[in-house]
Chains A and B, each alone.
Chain A
Amino acid sequence: MDRTIAIDVSRLCKTYDSHKAVDDLSFQVYAGEIFGLLGPNGAGKSTTLRTLITLLHPTSGTATVMGYDTVREADKVRTVIGYVPQERAIDRFLTGREHLQLLGALYHLSKEEATKRIGELLKLVELEAYADRPAKTYSGGMKRKLDIACGLLPDPKILFLDEPTLGLDVQSRLRIWEYVRMLKARGMTVVMTTNYLDEADQLCDRLAIIDGGKIKTLGAPVELKIALGGDIVSLTLKEIDRIHSLESELIGRPAIKAVRATAKGLDIRVESPEKALPTILESANRLGCGIEFIQYNRPRLDDVFIAHTGRAITESIPESETA
Chain B
Amino acid sequence: MAHYWQEISALTMRWVRRLSREKFSMLFTLVQPMLFWLIFFGNLFQRAADTQVMQAPNYISFLAAGVVVMTVLNNGLAGGVDLLFDKENGFLERLMSTPIHRTSVILSRFIFVMAITSMQVLVILGVSYLFGVHPATGILGVATILLIGMMFGIGLTAISMAMAFSVKSHGDFFSVLGFLSLPMIFLSSALVPLSAMPGWMSFLAQFNPMTWAIDAVRPLILSGWTEALPHVGMVVLVMLVFDALCLYGGAKAFRRAMG
A interface with B by C-beta (< 8 Å): 50, 53-57, 75, 78-79, 81, 83, 85-86, 88-91, 93-94, 98, 101-103, 105-108, 134, 150, 154
Q: How far is the CB of B9 from chain A (nearest CB, A)?
A: 8
Residues of B within 8 A of A105 (CB): 6-7, 9-10
Residues of A within 8 A of B89 (CB): 88-90
How many residues of chain B are within 8 Å of chain A by beta carbon? 26
Q: Does B91 touch A at the CB level, under 8 Å?
A: yes
Q: How far is the CB of A149 from chain B (nearest CB, A)?
A: 12
Q: Which of A89, A94, A107 has the most CB of B within 10 A?
A: A89
Residues of A within 8 A of B99 (CB): 75, 78-79, 106-108
How far apart are the CA atoms of A83 and B92 in the complex, in Å? 12
- Whether B94 contacts A150 by the Cβ 8 Å rule is yes
Q: How far is the CB of B82 from chain A (nearest CB, A)?
A: 10
- Whether A154 contacts B98 by the Cβ 8 Å rule is yes
Q: A55-B259, A94-B17, A105-B10 are in contact. Are A89 and B98 (CB under 8 A)?
A: no
State which of A50, A90, A98, A108 has its C-beta within 8 Å of the C-beta of B91.
A90
Pairs A-B, 8 closest by C-beta atoms: A105-B10, A89-B90, A78-B99, A83-B97, A93-B21, A106-B98, A85-B90, A56-B259
Residues of B within 8 A of A88 (CB): 89-90
How far apart are the CA atoms of A191 and B9 in the complex, in Å? 32
Question: B237-259, CB under 8 A of A: which get 1 and which 0?
Answer: 00000000000000000000011
- Whether A89 contacts B94 by the Cβ 8 Å rule is yes
Q: Which of B9, B22, B97 has the most CB of A within 10 A?
A: B97
B interface with A by C-beta (< 8 Å): 3, 6-7, 9-11, 13-14, 17-18, 21-22, 89-91, 93-100, 104, 258-259
How far apart are the CA atoms of A150 and B98 in the complex, in Å? 11
Residues of B within 8 A of A56 (CB): 259
How far apart are the CA atoms of A57 and B259 in the complex, in Å? 5
- Whether A81 contacts B97 by the Cβ 8 Å rule is yes
Nearest A residue to B13, CB-CB: A102
- Whether A55 contacts B97 by the Cβ 8 Å rule is yes
How far apart are the CA atoms of A103 and B93 in the complex, in Å? 13
- Whether A55 contacts B91 by the Cβ 8 Å rule is no
- Whether A106 contacts B14 by the Cβ 8 Å rule is no
State which of A81, A83, A90, A98 has its C-beta within 8 Å of the C-beta of B93.
A83
Q: How far is the CB of B12 from chain A (nearest CB, A)?
A: 11
Residues of A within 8 A of B11 (CB): 102, 106
Residues of B within 8 A of A106 (CB): 7, 10-11, 95, 98-100, 104
Q: A55-B97, A106-B100 are in contact. Are A91 and B91 (CB under 8 A)?
A: yes
Q: How far is the CB of A105 from chain B (nearest CB, A)?
A: 3
Can you name 20 A-B residue pairings with CB atoms under 8 Å?
A53-B97, A55-B258, A83-B94, A83-B97, A85-B94, A86-B90, A88-B90, A89-B90, A91-B18, A91-B91, A93-B17, A93-B18, A94-B14, A94-B17, A94-B18, A94-B21, A102-B11, A106-B98, A107-B98, A134-B21
